[in-house]
Amino acid sequence: MKARRDVFQAIADPTRRAMIGLLASQTLTLNTVAENFQMSQPAVSKHMRILAECGLVEIVKLGRERHCQARLGALEEVARWAEQYRLFWNNRLDTLQNLLKDED
Amino acid sequence: MKARRDVFQAIADPTRRAMIGLLASQTLTLNTVAENFQMSQPAVSKHMRILAECGLVEIVKLGRERHCQARLGALEEVARWAEQYRLFWNNRLDTLQNLLKDED
DNA sequence: ATTTTACTTAACCATTCGGTTTTGTATTTT
DNA sequence: AAAATACAAAACCGAATGGTTAAGTAAAAT
């Protein structure tokens, strides 16, 4: 098993982002998740494993079923990273606008 | 050229995230950027092109130099996506805590 | 005019990725 | 006990990724 997956890499794939969307509001079995995508069950299984490896999903074994539940706290790292630069960027734009306004 | 790069995929690579960090506060030439990474200049060039292709960086040709300036507005898509689920998740946790509190 | 600089392009390479099909294995259902 | 279900594991595949070196090109410095 790969030590510790990177959440940024995990969400790079659109299929995995869709899976997060699906699981955000409800816990689903692997099979049910698979029904929502037009790919084989092993493919879905692999994606889910990647999401689990970076803590975005917890897979709970119940009998022969795997119940997948979102653990979206791991998205905080992404949210903070992106927000940090977005704010920084907006401030720069504001400063620029003020400079232009002062020139009048 | 690849039609329209995905910003999620662009920031999946740690090197590219570091480049964004570098360029956030200052415009730098490709060469200067390259000095900050222990990889060949063509490698840096490739990374920068990917960042440019998804709008995170603008490359301005000045003579023989390429001036790279961040355009971090493109991060808004990421920030909103992550923030949306992070908030959703926090609300769920709050609701859970309230339920537990009500049980006392 | 020549050389140096700052790059791009091209060719190549190993590894990873995202998918497949096939096979195996518990767990339920019948 | 037998069959069906819900998955995992393995083997495989083509394409993309992230890197390299080598060669080419345009601009600047000498």
Model pLDDT for residues B27-46, shown as the tens digit of each residue = 999 999 999 999 999 999 99
| Contact (CB, 8 A) for B7 and B75 | yes
Q: Please indicate if any CB of chain A lies within 8 Å of the CB of B94.
A: no
| A7-16, A78-87, A89-98: the lowest-pLDDT one | A89-98
The model carries a pTM of 0.90
pLDDT of residue A104: 62
Q: Is the pLDDT of residue A64 over 60?
A: yes
| Chain A from 12 to 51: CB within 8 A of any B CB | 12, 14, 17, 20-21, 24-25
Task: Show which positions of strand D are touched by protein (CB under 7 A).
Answer: 5-11, 17-22, 26-28
- Picking from B7, B5, B4, the residue whose alpha carbon sits closest to that of residue B79 is B7
Residue partners of B52: CB distance under 8 A and separation at least 6: B58, B59, B68
